[in-house]
Amino acid sequence: MKVLVVGPGGREHAMITSLLRDPHVSEVHAAPGNAGIAQDVPVHPLNAQDPEAVVALARELSADLVVVGPEAPLVAGVADALDAAGIPVFGPSREAARIEGSKSFAKEIMAAAGVPTARAVATSDMTQVREALELFGAPHVVKDDGLAAGKGVVVTQDRDRAEAHARECLDAGGSVVVEEFLDGPEVSLFVLSDGEHVVPLQPAQDFKRVRDGDEGPNTGGMGAYTPLDWLPEDFTREVVERVARPVVNELRRRGTPFTGVLYCGLALTPRGVQVIEFNARFGDPETQSVLAVLETPLGQLLLDAAQGRLSEDRPLEWAQGSSVTIVLAAHNYPGAPRKGDVISGLEDVSQDPDTWVIHAGTERDDAGHLVSAGGRVLAVVSRGADLREARERGYRGVGRITLDGSHYRTDIALAAAEGRVTVPASSKTAGPGSEDPGAVADPDGRTEPSTAEEQA
Q: To 5 degrees, how large is the angle CA 313–CA 294–CA 16?
A: 115
User: How far is it, in rounded angstroms, from Cα 435 to Cα 420?
Assistant: 30
Confidence of residue 445 (pLDDT cuts 50, 70, 90): very low
For 312-364, the pLDDT digits (tens) are 988 999 999 999 999 999 999 999 999 999 999 999 998 999 999 999 999 99
For 207-259, the pLDDT digits (tens) are 999 999 999 988 999 999 999 999 998 999 999 999 999 999 999 999 999 99
Handedness of CA 248, 246, 424, 318 (dihedral sign): negative
For 116-172, the pLDDT digits (tens) are 998 888 888 999 999 989 998 999 999 888 765 555 788 889 999 999 999 988 988
3-state secondary structure of 54: helix
pLDDT of residue 456: 54
Side-chain half-sphere exposure of 335, counting CA atoms within 13 A: 6
Under a CB-based contact definition with an 8 Å cutoff, are residues 267 and 273 in contact? yes
Q: Is the pLDDT of residue 429 over 70?
A: no
pLDDT of residue 145: 80
- Average pLDDT for the chain: 91
User: How far is it, in rounded angstroms, from Cα 48 to Cα 68?
Assistant: 9
Read off the pTM.
0.89
User: How far is it, in rounded angstroms, from Cα 210 to Cα 223?
Assistant: 10
Contacts of 26 (CB under 8 A, 6+ apart): 1, 2
Contacts of 18 (CB under 8 A, 6+ apart): 291, 294, 298
